[in-house]
């Protein structure tokens, strides 16, 4: 199974496990570290935007930082979506669970808002 580390790069390590009543994803430590690092940077960017607003920064500069944050969040979403499709979705389809397609389409719809 592959995991998306950086745009265009793939390595081993992401799996989803479906237990009755609860679903969990089990990512490798490398993927978790990558996602945590990205989210920490995003968190810092958000704090930076708050500071810019408090200091009455030029609106266009703030909007450009918000666009960068949205792009960074989209990247995190793409990594998770790819891992989900390559593991959970494939696994559930293999088990004959076609409801996963509706679930996936609903999730993609939310991501593309």
pLDDT over 70 (residue 108): yes
pLDDT over 80 (residue 84): yes
Query: Residues 97-110: what's their mean pLDDT?
Result: 96
- Which DSSP state fits 89? I
Cα 31 to Cα 27: distance, rounded to the nearest angstrom: 6
pLDDT reported for residue 96: 97
pLDDT reported for residue 26: 72
pLDDT reported for residue 7: 40
pLDDT over 60 (residue 33): yes
Stated pTM of the model: 0.77
**pLDDT band for position 41 (50/70/90)?**
very high
CB atoms within 10 A of CB 23: 12
Here the tokens at position 67 are 């666009």
Share of the chain above pLDDT 90, in %: 73
Query: Residues 48-74: what's their mean pLDDT?
Result: 98
Q: DSSP assignment of 25-48, as one string?
A: EEE-HHHHHHHHHHHHHHHHHHHH
Cα 32 to Cα 28: distance, rounded to the nearest angstrom: 6
For domain 2-111, is the CATH number 1.20.58.1000? yes
Which residues 6+ apart lie within 8 Å of 46 measured at CB?
69
Q: How many CA atoms lie within 13 A of 37 on its CB side?
A: 8
| Torsion angle defined by CA atoms of residues 27, 32, 38 and 40, in that order, rounded to the nearest 10 degrees | 140
Query: Residues 68-83: what's their mean pLDDT?
Result: 96
Our separate counts of H helices and E strands in the chain read: 4, 4
pLDDT over 70 (residue 28): yes
Question: Domain residue spans in the chain?
Answer: 2-111
């Amino acid at each position: 199974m592959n995991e998306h580390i950086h745009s265009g790069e793939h390595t081993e390590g992401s799996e989803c496990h479906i237990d009755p009543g609860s679903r969990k994803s089990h990512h490798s430590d490398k993927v978790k570290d990558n996602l945590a690092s990205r989210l920490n940077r995003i968190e810092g960017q958000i704090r930076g935007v708050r500071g810019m607003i408090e200091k009455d920064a030029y609106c266009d500069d703030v909007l450009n930082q918000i666009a960068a944050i949205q792009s960074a969040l989209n990247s995190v979403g793409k990594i998770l979506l790819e891992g989900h499709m390559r593991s959970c979705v494939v696994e559930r389809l293999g088990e004959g669970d076609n409801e996963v397609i509706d679930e996936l389409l609903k999730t993609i719809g939310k991501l593309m808002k």
